[in-house]
A = this chain, B = another copy of it.
């Protein structure tokens, strides 16, 4: 293991992260709040980054191997969360809670330990939303540009989908792809920002909500989340952009710059669309049956909540924790699916579910016709066996982590529904669950050990499981 290269790249990441903290510093000055939290965080982050870069500058030219790649991604995310948590501590947040909130930000989870969100400073809440936007950009790059190089969990599949110049060395390709994705992400964000402003949001609200929509993040500066605006127009805009953010950004790029029908041709996007449609219809009917609301009102809540949970954003326009269990079941199913590959969404991902279903279907076929060969197709191409292997292992390990963390939470005193939904809500980077971690509640009541488990969940889930879990195997560290 080449630790020098890892520390060198971590130095670079921190040098990029530090200056971003000047933006909430500006917000603090604008609102007459203390700029010191951000000044200190900026200084510490940048200095540590510079020191690492200086110390290990020669390493920059060394070899990247797969293992170093895993370590850089995993520790990079962790370092961002760690340094990003500094400003929270100035606002009276305990170190554990600050790390929880910061990890929840950079992993675009949106689970909060804040009891009274509005009592925190405007600048801190701005930073909190902004960390999600930064995390969202990171995740698109990770999924489309970095993980395929590391051969992780079936994303070889999407290598062909990634925009930019074709295969050569890792670094130039990442740089090119990053630029293109950055442009797409920023463009769509600006569009949402403008629409939210037109819909009547303040600039502050429009910024923070754009940050957290585009990242499928779900942090809101208001305890009532999007329900605070009580505006069907705003809900409609946010629903649309959550839906966009939950789809593949490589396809967005293609749709914008080459083939207009890229999205519509994609099997994953079609299935994603069908899931949203069917779940919305079912949930509308259930809400209409079980609540006093009319069909249009039921639809308004249903479509927002289905898209919010399926894309793992986690916004709420109503306290769905108060719904009957039949409505909750629809949301729970969404929690176990997640958005599309190459999006900012978390979860198991639509493509994995789709391929698993095709796989099971093909085995049923084989049970009747043992000698017939019928390959599993995705976007017209046969899916190679090793991609199916990676997907299956992903799902097995994902469920294993989900079960273990549910069990730990429950053993440390949380009720079953809260344990289970808190686990999936963090592992899937969704944010809220049910009961004590419901959308109008928060994670402050989780015992300390539970918070550590959930921090790990957010980190593991966001980095597509393998990136972190592979470091637990002895082979990873062996020379």
Counting every copy of the chain, the complex holds 2
Q: Which of A402-445 contact B (CB under 8 A)?
A: 403, 406-407, 410-417, 419
With contact pairs A326-B410, A368-B470 given, residues A360 and B417 touching in the complex (Cβ less than 8 Å): no
A64 lies within 8 A of chain B by Cβ: no
Question: With A and B bound together, what is the CA distance between A326 and B407 in angstroms?
Answer: 7
- Residues of B within 8 Å of A286, CB to CB, are 411
Stretch in contact with the other chain, from A171-179, A245-253, A385-393:
A385-393
- Residues of B within 8 Å of A356, CB to CB, are 396
Question: With A and B bound together, what is the CA distance between A469 and B390 in angstroms?
Answer: 26
Q: Which of A428-479 contact B (CB under 8 A)?
A: 466, 469-470, 473, 475-476
Q: Which of B66, B70, B392, B470 contacts A392 (CB 8 A)?
A: B392
A256 lies within 8 A of chain B by Cβ: no
Question: With A and B bound together, what is the CA distance between A410 and B434 in angstroms?
Answer: 16
- Residues of B within 8 Å of A390, CB to CB, are 363
Question: With A and B bound together, what is the CA distance between A67 and B370 in angstroms?
Answer: 11
With contact pairs A326-B410, A410-B325 given, residues A470 and B403 touching in the complex (Cβ less than 8 Å): no
A364 lies within 8 A of chain B by Cβ: yes
With contact pairs A364-B469, A473-B364 given, residues A370 and B326 touching in the complex (Cβ less than 8 Å): no
- Residues of B within 8 Å of A362, CB to CB, are 393
- Residues of B within 8 Å of A470, CB to CB, are 364, 367-368
Question: With A and B bound together, what is the CA distance between A125 and B476 in angstroms?
Answer: 59
Question: With A and B bound together, what is the CA distance between A366 and B466 in angstroms?
Answer: 11
With contact pairs A151-B370, A286-B411, A389-B363 given, residues A403 and B67 touching in the complex (Cβ less than 8 Å): no
- Residues of B within 8 Å of A412, CB to CB, are 326
Number of chain A residues whose Cβ lies closer than 8 Å to a Cβ of chain B: 53
- Residues of B within 8 Å of A191, CB to CB, are none
Among residues of B, the one whose C-beta sits closest to the C-beta of A285 is B411
A333 lies within 8 A of chain B by Cβ: yes
- Residues of B within 8 Å of A70, CB to CB, are 367
Contact between chains at A325 and B397 (CB < 8 Å): no
- Residues of B within 8 Å of A332, CB to CB, are 416
Contact between chains at B419 and A367 (CB < 8 Å): no
- Residues of B within 8 Å of A413, CB to CB, are 326
Contact between chains at B393 and A363 (CB < 8 Å): yes
- Residues of B within 8 Å of A152, CB to CB, are 367
Question: With A and B bound together, what is the CA distance between A274 and B340 in angstroms?
Answer: 39
Q: A326-B410, A329-B407 are in contact. List 16 more A-B contacts (CB 8 A).
A: A66-B370, A151-B370, A329-B410, A329-B411, A359-B396, A360-B396, A360-B397, A364-B466, A364-B470, A365-B473, A365-B475, A367-B466, A367-B470, A368-B470, A368-B476, A392-B392
